[in-house]
Amino acid sequence: MAVLKAYLESLSYTVELFDLNAHFFHMLKEYRPSWQRRDAVFEQDLFDKMICDYPEEMERIIAHINNSSARYAGFSLFNRNLYFSIELINKIVSSKQIIVGGPEVFYGSFGNFQNIHCLLTRNIEFFVIGEGESTLADILQGKAATVSTCIEVESLDNLPFYDFSDLFVPSEGVVLPLLASRGCIAHCAFCAERLLSKRYRQHSVGYMIGQIRHLMQMHRTSTFSFQDSLWNGNLSWCEEFCDAVISEGLAIHWDCQMLIRSGMDVAFFKKMKRAGCFNIFFGLESGSDTVLRLMKKPFRADEAGRVFTSAYQAGLHYEASLIIGYPGEGEQEFMETCSFLRHNRSVIKKIAQINPYIKLAPIRPNQPTEDPVRTQKRIRAILELLDSEGIRYTNAFINNLVDHSDELLALYE
């Protein structure tokens, strides 16, 4: 959203940005346990809860939108904010034109947006599918259709630097998001990224150094988190970025998500650490070559072991995620994942996340799903293995993508 704001402001439009998710999360301490995990009942009821428990704050927000001079109100729709956002849209006066984008608009495009229309009591004027820069400009210039599929930004360096001045008061120690690329070089079968972006594109190293300096000056922070689907889509770029950070003496700390791939040795990870990297998130997902092949992951389990060993020897902290119950994972494949964890227990720093496979209908609509009871039993078995082998894991991210209002899941908590 900050990127879109900066882009529109570069075209001389006035934009006001709100992050209601962050606003209410910090305000509503009593709701935080449900907020931090999937809970469909909580998410569907949240707007009514807010109206009931915090009527003055909700009235203030609705009045601010309705009384503003803006002609348009835009919303980024995600699975977890869909119900709240649509209820808020229903409260906006008809003189405002509504623009919606985000993942739920993309998924909804497969079903004529019935996931959105079924909740509406007023019209939505514009549906934006994919990247928003060019389409938003067309909307504001009166040139866009009701449903618009994006034209992807060809050169990311043409975008202006962004900041978060609308969202919070600058304070030392805050962690700010960075985005060095769009898209992904992999084509994992379970992931929506391969549909959301047609091509993988990167900012230049020079642009990213400039963006980081801009944020450091605006927000008095030196800690960042790369939000790219994968930070290491181009290993030469990674080396060049780290060299630039080191040579320019940028005292920053950052983490990122990375693809398991060849070409990353101990020296590579040591350079990342010297450049300020303090943590890597790897999407391992399985220790079975059969399952990795079904997932269309571009690596084998033994390659994952080598990458983990190199990161460990470089002294760089990393975490990995697991998906249990992917279609085709039988007992033998599950045991192969268990064997992988045992064999690499001395170099695995931490398992960050364990979830069952969650099917996104638009991606593979006819794909069968595994027995959820068996999958939850396997997740419990994995946790027992991690405990016995002394491998740390993040308890808050076990089953965190699963609906916690589901009675089946409650049996295993």
Q: 77 and 105 in contact (C-beta within 8 Å)? A: yes
Say what the pLDDT of residue 209 is.
98
CA dist., res. 61 & res. 46, Å (int): 15
Residue segments in the chain with a per-residue pLDDT below the cut of 70: 168-172, 360-369, 405-413
Of 3.30.1490, 3.40.50, 3.30.70, 1.10.3720, the CATH number of 2-149 is 3.40.50
Token pair 């900050």 in the structure block, residue: 2
The per-residue DSSP string of 142-200 comes to: T---SEEE----S-GGGSPP---TTT----TT-EEEE--EES-S---TT-THHHH-SS-
Q: 374 and 325 in contact (C-beta within 8 Å)? A: yes
Q: Where are the domains of the chain?
A: 2-149, 157-410
Q: What percent of the chain has pLDDT over 70?
A: 94
Phi, psi values for residue 148, rounded to 5°: -130, 130
Longest dimension (CA), the chain: 63
Q: Do domains 2-149 and 157-410 have the same CATH topology?
A: no
Say what the pLDDT of residue 383 is.
98
Say what the pLDDT of residue 107 is.
81
Say what the pLDDT of residue 232 is.
98
Its sign, for the CA torsion 379, 337, 360, 354, is positive
Say what the pLDDT of residue 60 is.
96
Give 221's contacts (C-beta < 8 A, 6+ positions apart): 170, 171, 172, 173, 174, 175, 176, 215
Closest CA to 371 of 389, 356, 387: 356
The β-bridge partners of 126 are: 99
User: What are the structure tokens assigned to 195, written together?
Assistant: 């549909």
Say what the pLDDT of residue 403 is.
80
Give 224's contacts (C-beta < 8 A, 6+ positions apart): 175, 176, 177, 178, 212, 215, 252, 253, 254
Q: 195 and 363 in contact (C-beta within 8 Å)? A: yes
Phi, psi values for residue 46, rounded to 5°: -60, -40
Say what the pLDDT of residue 231 is.
98
Closest CA to 85 of 96, 73, 94, 95: 73
Give residue-wise pLDDT tens across range 87-106.
999 999 999 999 999 988 98
Looking at domain 157-410, does it have CATH number 3.40.640.10?
A: no
Say what the pLDDT of residue 413 is.
52
| pTM of this structure | 0.91
Say what the pLDDT of residue 367 is.
61
User: Which H helix or E strand runs over 306?
Assistant: helix 301-313
CA dist., res. 413 & res. 408, Å (int): 9
Whole-Å CA distances, 306 to 238, 247, 256, 322: 19, 29, 19, 17
Q: 356 and 379 in contact (C-beta within 8 Å)? A: yes
What CA dihedral angle connects 318, 103, 16 and 20, to 10 degrees? -70
Q: 239 and 265 in contact (C-beta within 8 Å)? A: no
